[in-house]
Amino acid sequence: MIPAHIYNDKELFALEKERLFSRAWTFVAHESEIPQEGDYVVRRVLDDSFIITRDSAGDVRAMFNMCLHRGMQVCRAEMGNASNFRCPYHGWTYRNDGRLTGLPFHRDAYGGDEGFAKNQTLLPAPKLSSYNGLLFISMDPGAEPLQDFLGDFKFYLDFYTKQSTGGLELRGPQRWRIKANWKIGAENFAGDMYHTPHTHASIVEIGLFREPKAQKRKDGATYWAHRGGGTTYKLPPGGFDERMRYVGYPDDMIGRIKKLWTPRQQQIVGEDGFMISAATCFPNLSFVHNWPKVHDRNGRNDGVLPFISIRLWQPISEHETEVCSWFAVDSAAPPQYKQDSYKAYLMCFGSTGMFEQDDVENWVSLTTTAGGSMARRLLLNSRMGLLLDDRPVVEALSAESFHGPGRAQVGYNENNQRELLKLWADYLQMPRPALTAAAPATGTAVTE
């Protein structure tokens, strides 16, 4: 049972800032967003702004976007390409690797190199690491390695992010704010198969999507593995290739995927008959893989085509979230596929997406209601899939019927939402990591 006020509570939000986002690995960008030397994007982890650059030596860095002089935000553009960043306030200049290189009136104001040697850099993010091109920051210098943090969830991340050796390319993000708590989106993408037939009924009615009929959705499985979990759809009979074609992958993509996915990853599709759909990586990174109808023709796959979206639920306050929504596609995919897949994404998700509009109406309303005093007297029922004595309604799938790590089960349940909130509660009970103020040092960003 979940106290209803956790979806709109100022004190809890302060605790999330202090204990969760100060520690957990948080997604900030994908390496393909900064392919060339000098490319940068500016991203935030809650209130902290970072310049994510590929410096002139080709290394990826995350630098705290605060001038070493009086603290102005050094880079105010959202993305671009620059060899230097010049602070708008008094004009201190930094190389794209963070080194301070220029101060106006260096000799007159500071006594030249003798008075101020300029051997300083913008403060690096405490920790920066990547998996399949996904860049994560941790604000905790003592954070466990990203690979360990993700753990078995990496198995599932690969389905979205590793379809050729070149990896993903991204478009976006589209950014917008919703008056909803960040945890609701994270929970929804982690495991809410139950809302699809109801909330998104009109999408099935107009024929955009053939899958989310109530009967079909409940045949899918949900899985949870360490720091993340998600939903799947049950596929019709067939082998790996047939089933990949069923959701609309062209043969050349299937060929590349087969070379990269491990036998176990391929067994999920080819033997077990499940196709991954939405997922959440704790705390606030979600993925979606769907296959709506983008063509009217009734070809061998009914005109459906898959798309992948990566989304970040960036907390603004206890009742507001900035959604960052990227379209992601395999870099080696054929140009026509990329175009059609982008169209598929835009119809379903992003600021124009129909799924998006349906979902957010619920989330905003829920958040508003959770902010009142009555919500403090209510425990929400999050027990789906559990009997009164806590035994599961449906047993977990065996290792032979679901080849992925973690726990998986068929049918409607709220196991993943509970797992996500369990992790959340664990973090809220840990003390915040120690903060030490450091004088800007010479040297390079701390990366793994």
Please give the residue ranges that form the binding site for ligand FES (CB under 6 A): 67, 69-72, 87, 89-92
Q: Which is nearer to ligand FES, 89 or 393 (CB)?
A: 89
The answer to whether 360 and 390 have CB atoms below 8 angstroms apart is no
Amino acid type, 175: R
Q: Which is nearer to Fe ion, 327 or 349 (CB)?
A: 349
Strand locations in 179-243, DSSP E? 221-225, 228-234
Q: Which is nearer to Fe ion, 205 or 390 (CB)?
A: 205
Distances, alpha carbon 134 to alpha carbons 26, 129, 130, in Å: 10, 8, 5
CA dist 167 and 216 (Å) reads 31
Shortest CB 73 distance to ligand FES, Å? 9
How far is C-alpha 303 from the chain's CA centre?
28
Biggest CA pair distance of the chain: 78
Instruction: Please choose, out of 14-22, 63-71, 220-228, 359-367, the segment that lies near Fe ion by the rule CB under 5 A.
Output: 359-367
Tokens standing for 218? 């409940």
Shortest CB 86 distance to ligand FES, Å? 8
Neighbours of 351 (CB within 10 A): 13
Chosen from Fe ion, ligand FES, none, partner binding at 35 (C-beta under 5 to 8 Å by type): none
Q: Which is nearer to ligand FES, 70 or 198 (CB)?
A: 70
Neighbours of 339 (CB within 10 A): 13
Which is nearest to 351 in space by CA: 341, 360, 364?
A: 360
Shortest CB 117 distance to ligand FES, Å? 17
Rama region for 52: left / alpha / beta (φ>0; ψ in -120 to 50; rest): beta
Task: Name the one residue in this structure whose structure tokens are 């993509």.
Answer: 253
Query: What length does the chain have?
Result: 448
Distances, alpha carbon 137 to alpha carbons 22, 26, 28, 144, 289, in Å: 10, 5, 7, 12, 24
The answer to whether 133 and 58 have CB atoms below 8 angstroms apart is no
Shortest CB 112 distance to ligand FES, Å? 17
Instruction: Please choose, out of 69-77, 129-137, 330-338, 358-366, the segment that lies near Fe ion by the rule CB under 5 A.
Output: 358-366
Q: Which is nearer to Fe ion, 290 or 341 (CB)?
A: 290
Residues 126-155 that bind Fe ion (CB under 5 A): none
Shortest CB 83 distance to ligand FES, Å? 18
Chosen from Fe ion, ligand FES, none, partner binding at 359 (C-beta under 5 to 8 Å by type): Fe ion
Shortest CB 359 distance to Fe ion, Å? 4
Shortest CB 101 distance to ligand FES, Å? 13
Which is nearest to 3 in space by CA: 428, 419, 376?
A: 376
Instruction: Please choose, out of 1-9, 78-86, 223-231, 355-363, the segment that lies near Fe ion by the rule CB under 5 A.
Output: 355-363
CA dihedral 14, 15, 20, 23 (to 10 degrees): 90
Q: Which residue is nearest to Fe ion (CB)?
A: 359
Chosen from Fe ion, ligand FES, none, partner binding at 216 (C-beta under 5 to 8 Å by type): none
Distances, alpha carbon 350 to alpha carbons 54, 145, 231, 307, 333, in Å: 27, 31, 20, 12, 21
**Helix segments in 220-310, DSSP class H:** 240-246, 251-260, 263-270
Q: Which is nearer to ligand FES, 76 or 264 (CB)?
A: 76
Chosen from ligand FES, Fe ion, none, partner binding at 70 (C-beta under 5 to 8 Å by type): ligand FES
Shortest CB 43 distance to ligand FES, Å? 20
Chosen from Fe ion, ligand FES, none, partner binding at 264 (C-beta under 5 to 8 Å by type): none
Can you name the residues that pair with 304 across neighbouring β-strands?
Answer: 293
Q: Which is nearer to ligand FES, 72 or 423 (CB)?
A: 72
Chosen from ligand FES, Fe ion, none, partner binding at 90 (C-beta under 5 to 8 Å by type): ligand FES
Is 359 an interacting residue with respect to Fe ion (CB under 5 A)? yes
Shortest CB 145 distance to Fe ion, Å? 33
Binding site for Fe ion (CB under 5 A): 359
